[in-house]
Amino acid sequence: MNIVVIGSSAASKSAVETLLKEKETDINITVVSKDNKLFYSRVLLPNYIAGEIDEEGLLFVDKSFFEDERLKIIKGNVKTIDGLNKRIFVEDYGYITYDKLIIATGARPVMPYEYDVEEICCLRDLEDAVKIKKLAQKAQDCIVLGGGLVSLKAACALNDIGKKVTVLVESNRVLSRTVDLYCSLMVTNILREHGINIILESKIKGLSTEKGKLKGVVLDDDSLYPCDLVIVGKGVKPNIELVRDSGIKVDRGIIVDDNMVTSMKDVYAAGDVTQSHSLLDGGCELFTLWPDAMEQGKIAAYHILGIPRKYLGGISMNSVVFYGVPFISIGKITENVLPNCSVYINKNDEKKVYRKIVVKDNRIFGAVFAGDVSYAGMVYWDIKSGRKVEIPQKYLTREGLEELYLIRNKQLWTF
């Protein structure tokens, strides 16, 4: 069986790894990717910019992974998918036939500004990080546009190498789609304490350039923030251009079922390029998250191998550390997205510890932990499994969580 995987994302890695574990299966895998470096962690790109790790440190597979004789790597850009004849066309290479195809082309940054200026960057792949690291050697004043996770981690990286960093956020708080208001304020205070200038409700008009060089960022009141480097963090969108004319059903992403099967026979999709089932509300959503990409890649591989596994559905989850303080958010974390819910909070401002759970119909739908994220993995699985909650307050203290963990373990080992 010839399996072709397009892309070298987390979903691609997970799918290939799962397929290769089946030693007795007669398969050949071809990975086609236009990336110069394959199977690396995009999450760690800010650490690379900060000089904490090198390119090799970004890799999440070792060299032996590429030595399997059933695996072939082709560097190239896929131009078309021909589902009728079960083949893809790779630019400067030609046609490759398949029995099964997995599309794992990921997502790309949203760039609202069109300027042919080197100092205006996004941070999505290794090439972006290499470029930013090089430009940062000469830059002094850096501006980061956007208050999301990628933007704030990029700001931290630049700050850590001694640059003057300003973050311009259009909304009234950072991480507005990731954590609740309390944690937003925590993050803002932590970053400001470490020298990062955060300006909220900044209405950005555009960027100012002169003779091909960046001058600064222009706000809607025509005020100018001078800078040498701009990093734009305005979210991402799935790379679906390849499939638009292929007959594969798409919306904002490629539509898949709970086996990661698309509308085209023998074609699968996994990771950031997909639009899949939401576990908590049953909708069809984009989940551009590492854990979901890994799980989806694995599910696609299992289905190809004939192993009965289903994708239960995506849950939003984000985990990040800002200057030693960890934050995790899971599921639906605010009352406005989950009507008629109950919210339980326990916080210690002095210790910078915060726990919050959102409960409805005796089930946890969301959680936010900050400062101490112990047992957050257990809470994630309680949310995903729909476990009934008898005493919600136990989730608000380390002691209560430890007690729940011990109960889980006892249940696991009781036959």
Q: What is the CATH number of the domain that holds 213?
A: 3.50.50.60
Instruction: Tell me, yes or no, whether 135 and 222 share the same domain.
Output: yes
Asked whether residue 315 is assigned to any structural domain, the reply reads no
- Taking the C-alpha atoms of residue 216 and residue 233, their distance in angstroms, rounded to an integer, is 16
Kind and range of the H or E element at 57? helix 55-58
Q: What's the one-letter identity of residue 313?
A: G
Q: Burial letters for 254-283: b for 16+ Cβ neighbours within 10 Å, e otherwise? A: bbbeeebbbbbeebbbbbbbbbbbbbbeee
Q: What's the one-letter identity of residue 86?
A: K
Which pLDDT tens digits describe the chain residue by residue (415 residues)?
999 999 998 999 999 999 999 877 789 999 999 998 899 999 999 999 999 999 999 998 888 888 889 999 999 999 999 999 999 999 999 999 999 999 999 999 998 887 789 999 999 999 999 999 999 999 999 999 999 999 999 999 999 999 999 999 999 999 999 999 999 999 999 999 999 999 999 999 999 999 889 999 999 999 999 999 999 998 899 999 999 989 999 999 999 999 999 999 999 999 999 999 999 988 899 998 888 999 999 999 999 999 999 999 999 999 999 999 999 999 999 877 888 899 999 999 999 999 999 999 999 999 999 999 999 999 999 999 999 998 999 999 999 999 998 988 766 544 4
CA dihedral 224, 138, 148, 397 (to 10 degrees): -120
Q: Please say which residue of 232, 261, 296 terminates a domain.
A: 232
Instruction: Tell me, yes or no, whether 381 and 403 share the same domain.
Output: yes
**pTM (predicted TM-score):** 0.92
- Taking the C-alpha atoms of residue 29 and residue 337, their distance in angstroms, rounded to an integer, is 42
Listed residue (27, 105, 7) closest to 301, CA to CA: 27
Asked whether residue 214 is assigned to any structural domain, the reply reads yes
Strands 363-370 and 2-6, by their bridges, are unpaired
Instruction: Tell me, yes or no, whether 271 and 283 share the same domain.
Output: yes
pLDDT per residue as tens digits for the range 157-195: 999 999 999 999 999 999 999 999 999 999 999 999 999
Q: What's the one-letter identity of residue 67?
A: E
Asked whether the beta carbons of 151 and 231 are under 8 A apart, the reply is yes
Q: Considering Cα of 51, then 52, then 58, then 62, what sign does the dihedral take? A: positive
Q: How many domains does the chain have?
A: 3
Residue 281 confidence (pLDDT)? 86
Asked whether residue 287 is assigned to any structural domain, the reply reads yes
Asked whether the beta carbons of 343 and 335 are under 8 A apart, the reply is yes
Listed residue (250, 290, 295, 294) closest to 274, CA to CA: 250
Instruction: Tell me, yes or no, whether 49 and 156 share the same domain.
Output: no
Asked whether residue 317 is assigned to any structural domain, the reply reads no
Instruction: Tell me, yes or no, whether 133 and 228 share the same domain.
Output: yes
Domain that holds residue 400: 324-412
Instruction: Tell me, yes or no, whether 223 and 251 share the same domain.
Output: no
Asked whether the beta carbons of 328 and 369 are under 8 A apart, the reply is yes
Asked whether residue 344 is assigned to any structural domain, the reply reads yes
Asked whether residue 201 is assigned to any structural domain, the reply reads yes
Kind and range of the H or E element at 294? helix 290-305
Instruction: Tell me, yes or no, whether 57 and 97 share the same domain.
Output: yes
Q: Please say which residue of 278, 305, 332 terminates a domain.
A: 305
- Taking the C-alpha atoms of residue 348 and residue 369, their distance in angstroms, rounded to an integer, is 12
What is residue 266's three-state secondary structure? Answer: coil
Residue 414 confidence (pLDDT)? 46
Instruction: Tell me, yes or no, whether 263 and 282 share the same domain.
Output: yes
